[in-house]
Structure 1
Amino acid sequence: MKKFALFILFFFCKSLFCQEYHFDGFLEYKNSISGNNSLYFYNSNNKVYYLNVYKKFETIYGGIRDTENKILHEYGVTNKVNSIKFNYLFSRKLKLKKNSRKYFYDITEKKIDSSKTEVIILVYNDKKKKKSSSKIELIIDNSELIANENILFSFTDGIVNDVNSKITPGIPISIKVDFPTGLKCYYTLIKKEKTNTILTVDNVKIKNF
């Protein structure tokens, strides 16, 4: 999944018994270490859900994380020349952050210019903060003031999960992550566009997860 084609998708309910997700913007990031690209779809007026498209073991997947309904919808994704096709796989209960591991943070911000802010997040496993376990470095574009908590949660594998009120709003254009395992990831924003994308899930399928 070296490159995604530009696309607009419309999936409509065949009946009234379905859950509908609308996305009006998407971001495409490139991981300079693996060479893979990832997509992040969002609704600028509703931050309770978002859609990730990513590659894992040569297969492309999509996942809608819905915190309001506490559910995660998984899709198989086919990347074609001018479009991407989503094939529903299954749904499962979502483990919210209150049930996840608790982290503690030291956050510093520095203005680069009128539209960009540099943010450094040191992550600790305990509140004594003796030794950081992870480090996240961000450059945030403040020209579009969207909440970025879900973006950071997604690209740090849940390490950054409770800092939205402490970080300046905006779109991360650079995300560097040093994980506790020693793994390093460096994501760069390569595309930001408006879209009108709708995905739906049949409620019958949701009840069977």
Structure 2
Amino acid sequence: MPADLFPFVRSFMKSARAVGAIAPSGRQLADVITSEISRSVAPVIELGPGTGVFTRAMLDRGLEQEDIALIEYGSDFVRHLQIRFPNTHIQWMDAGWLSRVELFGHGKTGAVVSGLPLLAMPPKKVMQILDGAFTHLRPGGVFYQFTYAPVCPIPRAILDRMGLKATRFGGACSNLPPAAVYRIRRRPAGMLSRNGPVARLVDGVAG
């Protein structure tokens, strides 16, 4: 069994719903979701890095480990990441708490790469994650998300209420299962909905 599979299998056996996949992401998917990542967008936040396939792809694109913050909740994955990428900024935490933490000395990041199973999460949790991610993103920053579903994993209602736009820009047919990749940006009007700030929406959406 490849080394990357050991932490994946342990976490899958503990909670398949939290892992959200039947196998670690493949190299083709990693290449697609990181295709717009370069040193010019550093630093970068990665949500749910798992075994670190996307992390390795970003390092291969010229980023330094110090340029990457890894937000991971699974303890088996965290131990694996600490060994494999000791100089990254590893945070053992729920991605929903992202707005509460300081990363890169309050500096803003150019991209967030997400391996989280958003489709398995309630709307309130998805909004909390997006709110935290865009709090850290600088103007023009991009949130990258992949999905195994035939549609965007973030419902249109949430995108509209948070002032965001999602665009599918690639896919990985050889991944197990096949996956699509979305680029999510702020709309010109910003992150406010027609009804008020994101913080109020997060409080009001039932989970």
Q: Which has the higher strand share?
A: 1
Structure of higher RCO (CA pairs closer than 8 Å, 6+ residues apart): 1
Q: Which has the higher helix share?
A: 2
Give the structure-1-normalised TM-score: 0.31
Larger of the two Rg values belongs to structure: 1
Give the structure-2-normalised TM-score: 0.31
